[in-house]
Structure 1
Amino acid sequence: MKHRTVAAWLSAIFAGLGQLYNRQFIKGILFIAVEILALFYFINNLGTAIWGTVTLGESGSHFEKVNGIARLVPGDHSINLLIQGLITIILFIIFVIYYVMNIKDAYQIGKQRELGVAANNFKGTLQYILEQKFAVAFLTIPGIGILFFTIMPIIFMILLSFTNYSAPDHLPPAKLVDWVGFDTFKNLLTLKSWSHTFWGVLVWTIIWAVLSTVTTYFGGMFVALLIQQKVVKLKGLWRTILIIPYAIPQLISLLVMRNMFNGQFGPINQYLAYFGLGGLPWLTDPFWAKVTVIVVNMWVGIPVSMLLIMGVLTTISKDLYEAADIDGATNYQKFRIITLPMILFSTAPILITQFAGNINNFNAIFLLTNGNPVVGDYQYAGATDLLVTWLYKLTLDQNRYNMASAVGIIIFLIIASFSIYNYRRTRSFKEEDMIQ
């Protein structure tokens, strides 16, 4: 039989045997050691992991009387079982990938031996990895970190949305959690007490994302164009003054604004009263609270767009404007034909990112209004709550983890679908190959 076939079959029987056959002894021993450790771990944990993931436990913690004394009898913790099951299953998938790579490696080295090329020793293998596969090797550790600290929590959240994990009836360790399929999504979208809140918060989230993105983007564009005018002196001073709201931490800015817009003691209402105009319920009326958060977000967001667009303006060739002057173009025509298309071309991907970020703009809402004022027929949500702040309240305040997970999935679907669709339609994406 050919070397490649023998080596591949030996590695398929037990990882590392093919490497030993190919006379790569240190590599083979390491592969064998990894498989022994993996087999020991999976023999002790894989069955329990699958059982725990499928059943989520059989009995919760409870008290039993022993000799007249009530004692706590530990039971199954459904969430711990689910997490442990996920970790074990992910490790098993990694092991399967490792096993396939082990077979492929033995096959390739065996093929080289058939061509008369001697197999690398351990030092040669390390040198090959560092020189030829450095990028892959370097990215392996952060890749595993992303798998466990980013992808696994996302999978965990998705799985929670298919359970009844919520207070007070299904909260471990006293109570078990059960799989309920799509009941959580069904309740969220059709059960009146939940659907009314969901659709109300969703509509406001979209309105907020559109208005906050448009106002900050075009507001920043307007300010940037003003500063770039030749008649404006001390441009550096104006840039410094206008960037201050962005330089100050949002925590400070938003809490100060919250006090300024206070309906009873805030200085804004006091000034209005001084001029005989009367105060406004900035933070206590649903309509005015929404107006307030949009205005305050402009104060925080316009400097960011201003800096971005000023950078784009400096890259536009002056020859274009000189040619337009020769053709007799007006200032408006130069803006419409030259300036605006160049700005949109360069900033369209960032504009999409800003829209996605505004859907999840937790700070602006939570620090300014905490989602209030309260709406009587909403489930744990206020008039200015976004989906992300409602999710926060459902999770940390109400322990409605299954419902919060469903909301999180919907947020992801909205942002991902919008971002991908719109980015692929931008000129930046379509003309990417032309630029390179």
Structure 2
Amino acid sequence: MNINALEPVPQASPIRNSHNPVLATVLSIVPGLGQLYNRRWIKGIVFLVIGLSLIIALSAPIANSIAGMITLGDNPETDDSRNLLVQGLLSSVIGIILLGLYVLNLLDARKDAKKRQEGIRTPSVRQAFQDSWEHGFPYFVVVPNFIMMALIVIFPLLFMISLAFTNYNLYNSPPAHLLDWVGFANFKALFTEAVWSKSLFTVLSWTVVWTLAATTLQIVLAFFLAVMVNDSRVRFKRLIRTVLILPWAVPSFMTVLVFTAMFNDTFGAINRDIFSHFGVSIPWLSDPTWARVAIIGIQVWLGFPYVFTLITGVLQGISKDWYEAADVDGGSRWKKFRFITMPHVLFATAPLLIMQYSFNFNNFNIIYLFNKGGPPVPGQNSGATDILISWVYSLTFKENNYKMAAAVSIIMGIVVAAFALYQFSKTRSFREEDMY
């Protein structure tokens, strides 16, 4: 028996040729030439025609628009700084997208050249299209949506950020005046000028207190009610749950308006029909402290039904075997709640509960509808119950102070993003997602 016959026959390595990937990449500086060098004729012609058409048609408008964004106009009679800023930002977004496509053109030429250099057969146009459809289907779906998001979401965000670095306010408003870039002057004013710094820190501190108090209370109340109703000894569970979610079924703006009338200092039902029997009249709308207490109470009423429904669904999914095993081991009600109920609920609902904090941080409706951010506070340009989002609204639509509104919006976005990212990173569900 020939032992050598059992040895594997070495496979012949691909025949390498002199095809140069570097040359293909350099030629692709003119879109399509690299593909033509790689003998991808149809792809090369398509890239060449589309690339040159875009370069010829868009190069000058994009350059002019970006230049106008930098200067923000030279003559107030003919230039509108807002239009120049919008055109410049839009051109920048389109330019970045086109630059990304241009880089993909270079990488595509280099990749095809490497395959030809290694002797790998270049697929036909039909085969290449089928392979791209099968392996790159997620990109075909995601990329158009990303482009739309860039134009619809990112573009307004960039416009808002840009306004924070200009002097756009009621007294310097286009088209009568041209805007100027002022750098970080608006942010400096927020933290150094007495009126702005006092307003900022007061509103920011109340926003944090409001978010933590209102959201935590509604979660605790919902958790307590869900656990109580889920108890096996409670009868008429469906009726009780239906009644408890009724505040969620009524439109929130209607509920807030009704509560506003009930909390009125003079003719409100709470003072007139309840506290009047004790000789007490609470200034719910005119006193800052009582106005804040009223708003927190209203938000707890409005917010707990959603959390109650969420936790109820999780509780019904917990296996009874866990509790039976705990009974066998002599576990108390508190231990069963601590080691079975709470971990299951928090693991399933933590991301949504965190989003409740983010929602209340920007909960404009209740603040504006209840008292429009009032009552006013001496020495501030913000109301006692104003949170950041309602203060931005007041600066924008009442005072036309667009530059400071944009600056506050940036601070607000940073706070929300940092808080949400930190909280999500600490949740067990977030950490375990990376393990799969």
Q: Does 1:280 align with 2:296?
A: no
Post-superposition offset of 1:117:
4.4
Q: Is 1:7 matched with 2:17?
A: no
- Which moved further from structure 2: 191-200 or 391-400? 391-400
Give the equivalent residue in structure 2 for 1:90: 93
Deviation, 1:400, is 1.0
Deviations 1:173-202 (A, max 9, x none): 111111111110010111001111111111
Which one is further off, 43-52 or 222-231?
Answer: 43-52
Q: Distance between the aligned counterparts of 1:167 and 1:267, measured in 2?
A: 41
Give the match for residue 406 of structure 2: 405
Distance between the aligned counterparts of 1:10 and 1:256, measured in 2?
Answer: 71
Match of 1:105 in 2: 108
Amino acid at match of 1:247: A
Aligned counterpart, 2:128? 125
- Give the aligned partner of residue 165 of structure 1: 168
Aligned-pair Cα RMSD in Å: 1.9
Where 1:176 maps in the other structure, the secondary structure is coil
Note the 1:238-317 alignment, pairs <5 A: 238-272=240-274, 275-317=277-319
> What CA distance in whole angstroms lies between the structure 2 residues aligned with 1:262 and 1:37?
66
State the match for 2:355 in structure 1.
353
The match for 1:179 among 162, 181, 201 is: 181
What does residue 65 of structure 1 align with? none
| Structure 1 residue aligned with 2:429 | 428
TM-score, normalised on structure 1?
0.91
**Contact 1:77 / 1:173 at 8 angstroms: preserved in 2?**
yes
Secondary structure of residue in 2 paired with 1:156? helix
Residue of structure 2 in register with 1:71 after alignment = none
Aligned to 1:67: none
In structure 2, runs of 5+ residues without a counterpart are 1-17
Query: Within 5 A, what are the aligned runs for 1:24-63?
Result: 24-61=40-77
- After TM superposition, the structure 1 = structure 2 runs for residues 149-160 of structure 1, keeping only pairs within 5 Å, are 149-160=152-163
Distance 1:145 1:216 in 2: 37
> 1:42 and 1:382, CA in 2 relative to 1: closer, same or farther beyond 3 A?
same
State the partner residue of 1:69. none
Query: Deviation digits for residues 83-135 of structure 1, max 9, x if unmatched?
Result: 11111122222222111111211222233334444434443333222211111
CA 1:432–1:131 in structure 2 vs 1: closer, same or farther (change >3 Å)? closer
Q: Equivalents in 2 of 1:148, 1:322: separation in Å?
A: 56
* Equivalent pair of 1:24/1:120 in contact (CA under 8 Å): no
- Give CA deviations for 1:264-285 in whole Å, capped at 9, x if unaligned: 3322233126635443222222
Structure 1 residues 326-350: Cα deviation after superposition (integer angstroms, max 9, x where no partner): 2222212222232223222332222
User: Equivalent residue for 1:81?
Assistant: 84
C-alpha separation in 2, matches of 1:60 and 1:140 = 40
Secondary structure of 2:245's partner? helix
In the superposition, relative to structure 1, how do residues 43 and 419 fare at CA in structure 2: closer, same or farther (>3 Å)? closer
1:201-212 equivalence runs, <5 A: 201-212=203-214
Matched residues in 1 for 2:258 and 2:41: separation? 68
Kept in 2, the 8 Å contact 1:395–1:401? The answer is yes
Q: How does 1:299-378 map to 2 (within 5 A)?
A: 299-378=301-380
Hey, what's the Cα distance between the residues in 2 that align with 1:19 and 1:432?
41
Deviation for aligned residue 1:300? 0.6
CA deviations 1:408-430 (Å, max 9, x no partner) are: 11111111112212222222233
Taking the aligned partners of 2:128 and 2:432, their CA distance within structure 1 comes to 42
Cα distance change on mapping 1:121 and 1:430 into 2, 3 Å: closer
Aligned to 1:70: none
Q: In structure 2, what is the Cα distance between the partners aligned to 1:371 and 1:312?
A: 37
1:140 aligns with 2:143: yes
Q: Determine the C-alpha separation between the residues in 2 that align with 1:320 and 1:99.
A: 59
TM-score, scaled relative to structure 2: 0.91
**Which residue identity lines up with residue 164 of structure 2 in the other structure?**
S
Q: How far 1:310 moved relative to its partner?
A: 1.1
Higher mean Cα deviation, 105-114 or 355-364?
A: 105-114
Q: Structure 1 residues 120, 398: CA separation in 2 closer, same or farther (over 3 Å shift)?
A: farther
Question: Matches of 1:241 and 1:220 in 2, distance apart?
Answer: 13
State whether residues 208 and 294 of structure 1, in contact with CA within 8 Å, keep that contact through their aligned partners in structure 2: yes
Q: Provide the C-alpha distance between the structure 1 equivalents of 2:406 and 2:157, rounded to a whole number of angstroms.
A: 9
Percent identical across equivalent pairs? Answer: 42
Contact 1:272 1:279 (8 Å CA) reproduced: no
1:267 counterpart letter in structure 2: A
Can you list the C-alpha shifts for 1:195-251, whole angstroms capped at 9, x where unaligned?
111111111000000001110110100110111112211111111111111122212
- Tell me the CA shift for residue 260 of structure 1: 2.2
Q: Which amino acid aligns with 1:152?
A: F
Say whether the 8 Å CA contact 2:19–2:116 is kept in structure 1.
no
Q: Distance in 2 between matches of 1:113 and 1:147?
A: 36
1:197 touches 1:378 (CA, 8 Å); kept in 2?
A: yes
User: How many residues matched?
Assistant: 419
Q: Decide whether the 8 Å contact of 1:394 with 1:400 is kept in 2.
A: yes
Aligned residue for 2:220? Answer: 218
Range with bigger deviation, 120-129 or 140-149: 120-129
Distance in structure 1 (CA, Å) of the matches to 2:241 and 2:247: 11
Determine if contact 1:261/1:282 at 8 Å carries over to the other structure: yes
Q: What letter matches 1:138 in structure 2?
A: V
Structure 1 regions of 5+ residues with no counterpart? 62-74
